[in-house]
């Protein structure tokens, strides 16, 4: 069937991926494909993808890729291949195929929507806006115009988002009511956050609030203008940072006029340690977590370490309940979005989980975890030094007064709605490291 097609790609970039597959390195091959895939020959790329998919046991993707190798000019084959790429978590491979499918079948809303889905998963929201805007005359309100508003928000184009949102008719299908309510809240938060900051491509605190309703307590002072823009990459956390985060949480609660009557302890060890320290800092009793308890601060160290059953209980908001997360992973967002977060990281090690250190022979090792009782570690947090890290010379100042002013401005829109997972890091870019 494929005797007239090359059994090895010709492009140098694709040959590197092919060679990775020769050695059985499927992840390495996919990493090679991630760079520059948009401009590589579709049939050759699909040849590599078919081989990788076959090696991984993904029969659906293998068959769809082989169909594109045979017929790279057929929109249906391109669509099926793009769809399979999205479903298998390699959306970056879907983009060029779906873009070509839409070019060949310009009236296909199915191809348009799947292309937008691929762009969204790759956080290429500006490109999603462009392709939706180019087909504006063909859009239905639900989901197409809704998706245009959604991606305009995630791309940071508030003017376009508001203009298109005003054109949205109420959804006739109840399945869209949740999405409409969530989008309404995002736009309401944007209106209040604009009174507190620039909401430009450096306003990390402002956009974190718009997208998820999260008040970000601290900004990383490291690598700010070198690509991090307030987020951490790799972080070795400290007791000092934990205390600083809890003091910032106290500032947030006071500025918002929120008066909890307890701290709720989640069952994982890290959250219990931080929760016990929070109870001391806030001057409140510490109680085991109960989802129905109102007027409480639920303290998590890292929500990605919390049991899924509990995360499900935290999705819907209990009256007066505030969810605080200390270290939140921005490249792998937790299933629920906290109301308050101390810092955003890509990789983090808790201070009691052992620290990296240099041995006498110059090698690097991690010290043993701190197995002391939770109460003793919590006491060390309370006794720590919350003085902020000076960081780099070019990082903007982030004093308590700035956080207090922000919360005072946005507090009427805080603690509203469910805690939906963040699907994007938004319009403020930060460097990612594999």
Question: For the segment 291-326, what is each residue's pLDDT rounded down to a tens digit?
Answer: 999 999 999 999 999 999 999 999 999 999 999 999
pLDDT in tens, 168-189: 999 999 999 999 999 999 999 9
278: number of Cβ within 10 Å: 29
pLDDT at 354: 83
**In-domain check, residue 195:** no
pLDDT band at 394 (very low <50, low <70, confident <90, very high): confident
Distance CA 329, CA 300 (A): 13
Answer yes or no: do 87 and 231 share one domain: no
Same domain, 225 and 343: yes
The pLDDT of 94-108, averaged and rounded, is 97
CA distance 47 to 64: 10
**17 and 108 part of one domain:** yes
Q: Is residue 429 part of a domain?
A: no
pLDDT at 361: 73
CATH number of the structural domain spanning residue 265: 3.40.50.2020
Whole-number mean pLDDT of the chain? 95
Q: Are residues 81 and 214 in the same domain?
A: no
Report how far residue 266's alpha carbon sits from residue 297's, in angstroms, rounded to the nearest whole number: 11
Instruction: Write down which residue in 122, 141, 174 finishes a domain.
Output: 122
DSSP tag of 263: E
**Do 228 and 355 fall into the same domain?**
yes
Whether 96 has a pLDDT exceeding 70, the answer reads yes
Query: What CA–CA distance (Å, rounded) separates 73 from 44?
Result: 13
- What pLDDT sits at residue 434? 67
Mean predicted confidence (pLDDT) in 408-427: 97
pLDDT at res. 8: 87
The DSSP bridge pattern shows strands 322-329 and 340-345 to be: parallel
Q: Which domain holds residue 30?
A: 12-122
Same structural domain for residues 256 and 385? yes
C-alpha 326: how far from chain center: 16
Residues 6+ apart with CB under 8 A from 402: none
| Inside any domain, residue 129 | no
Average pLDDT over residues 117-146: 97
**Which of 122, 137, 159 marks a domain boundary?**
122
Percent of the chain exceeding pLDDT 90 equals: 90
Task: Say if 287 falls within a structural domain.
Answer: yes
Give the pLDDT band (50/70/90) at residue 223. very high
What is the per-residue pLDDT for 3?
A: 43
What mean pLDDT is predicted for residues 74-78? Answer: 98
Same domain flag for 400 and 271: yes
Cα(184)–Cα(278) distance, integer angstroms: 33
In a domain, 138, yes or no: no
Q: 235-238: long-range contacts at Cβ-Cβ below 8 A with a sequence spacing of 24 or more? A: 235/327, 235/343, 235/345, 235/347, 235/348, 235/349, 236/348, 236/349, 236/351, 236/355, 236/356, 237/326, 237/327, 237/348, 237/349, 237/350, 237/351, 238/351, 238/384
For residues 84 and 230, state if they share a domain. Answer: no
Of 72, 107, 122, which residue constitutes the final position of a domain? 122
Say if residue 224 is in the same domain as residue 87.
no
Task: Please tell me which residue, 303 or 434, carries the higher pLDDT value.
Answer: 303
Q: Give 236's contacts (C-beta < 8 A, 6+ positions apart).
A: 348, 349, 351, 355, 356
Q: What number is the average pLDDT over the span 378-390?
A: 96
Is pLDDT above 50 for 85? yes
Q: Model-level pTM?
A: 0.94
- In a domain, residue 345? The reply is yes
Q: Give 28-78 as a DSSP string.
A: HHHHHHHSSGGGS-HHHHHHHHHHHHHHHT-HHHHHHHHHHHH-TT-HHHH
pLDDT at residue number 358: 65
CB 192 within 8 Å of CB 210? no
Total domains in the chain come to 2
pLDDT score recorded for residue 1: 41
The verdict on 108 and 223 lying in the same domain is: no
Of 198-207, 243-252, 355-364, 378-387, minimum mean pLDDT range: 355-364
In a domain, 139, yes or no: no
User: So what's the pLDDT on residue 390?
Assistant: 87
**Both 114 and 207 in a single domain?**
no
| Residue 346 shares a structural domain with residue 233 | yes
Domain containing 81 — which CATH number? 1.25.40
Residue 110 within a domain: yes
pLDDT at residue 366, rounded to an integer: 80
8-58 pLDDT, tens digit per residue, is: 898 888 999 999 999 999 999 999 998 878 889 999 999 999 999 999 999
pLDDT of 2: 41
């Amino acid at each position: 069937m494929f005797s007239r097609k090359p059994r090895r790609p010709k492009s140098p970039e694709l040959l590197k991926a092919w060679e990775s597959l020769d050695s059985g390195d499927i992840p390495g091959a996919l990493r090679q494909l991630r760079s520059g895939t948009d401009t590589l020959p579709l049939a050759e790329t699909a040849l590599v993808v078919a081989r990788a998919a076959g090696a991984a046991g993904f029969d659906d993707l293998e068959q769809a890729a082989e169909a594109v190798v045979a017929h790279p000019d057929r929109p249906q084959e391109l669509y099926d291949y793009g769809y399979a790429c999205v479903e298998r978590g390699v959306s970056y491979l879907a983009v060029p195929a779906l873009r070509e499918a839409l070019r060949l079948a310009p009236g296909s809303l199915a191809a348009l929507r799947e292309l937008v889905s691929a762009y969204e998963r790759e956080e290429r929201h500006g490109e999603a806006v462009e392709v939706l805007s180019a087909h504006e005359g063909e859009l239905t309100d639900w989901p197409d115009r809704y998706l245009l508003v959604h991606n305009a928000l995630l791309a940071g184009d508030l003017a376009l988002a508001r203009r298109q949102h005003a054109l949205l008719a109420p959804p006739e299908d109840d399945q869209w009511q949740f999405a409409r309510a969530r989008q309404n809240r995002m736009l309401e938060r944007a209106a209040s956050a604009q009174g507190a900051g620039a909401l430009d491509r450096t306003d990390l605190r402002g956009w974190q609030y718009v997208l998820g309703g999260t008040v970000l307590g601290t900004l990383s002072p490291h690598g700010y203008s070198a690509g991090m823009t307030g987020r951490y990459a790799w972080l070795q956390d400290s007791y000092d940072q934990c205390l600083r985060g809890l003091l910032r949480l106290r500032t947030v609660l006071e500025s918002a006029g929120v008066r909890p009557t307890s701290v709720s302890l989640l069952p994982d060890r890290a959250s219990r340690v931080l929760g016990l320290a929070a109870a001391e800092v806030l001057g409140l009793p510490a109680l085991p977590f109960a989802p129905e308890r109102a007027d409480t601060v639920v303290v998590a160290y890292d929500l990605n370490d919390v049991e899924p059953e509990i995360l499900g209980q935290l999705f819907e908001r209990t009256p007066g309940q505030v969810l605080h997360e200390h270290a939140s992973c921005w490249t792998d967002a937790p299933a629920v979005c906290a109301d308050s977060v101390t810092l955003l990281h890509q990789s983090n090690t808790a201070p009691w989980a052992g620290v990296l250190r240099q041995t006498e022979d110059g090698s690097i090792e991690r010290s043993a975890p701190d197995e002391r009782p939770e109460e003793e570690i919590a006491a060390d947090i309370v006794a720590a030094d919350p003085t902020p890290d000076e960081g780099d010379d070019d990082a903007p100042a982030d004093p308590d007064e700035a956080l207090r002013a922000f919360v005072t401005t946005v507090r009427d829109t805080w603690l509203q709605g469910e805690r939906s997972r963040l699907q994007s890091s938004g319009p403020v870019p930060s460097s990612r490291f594999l």
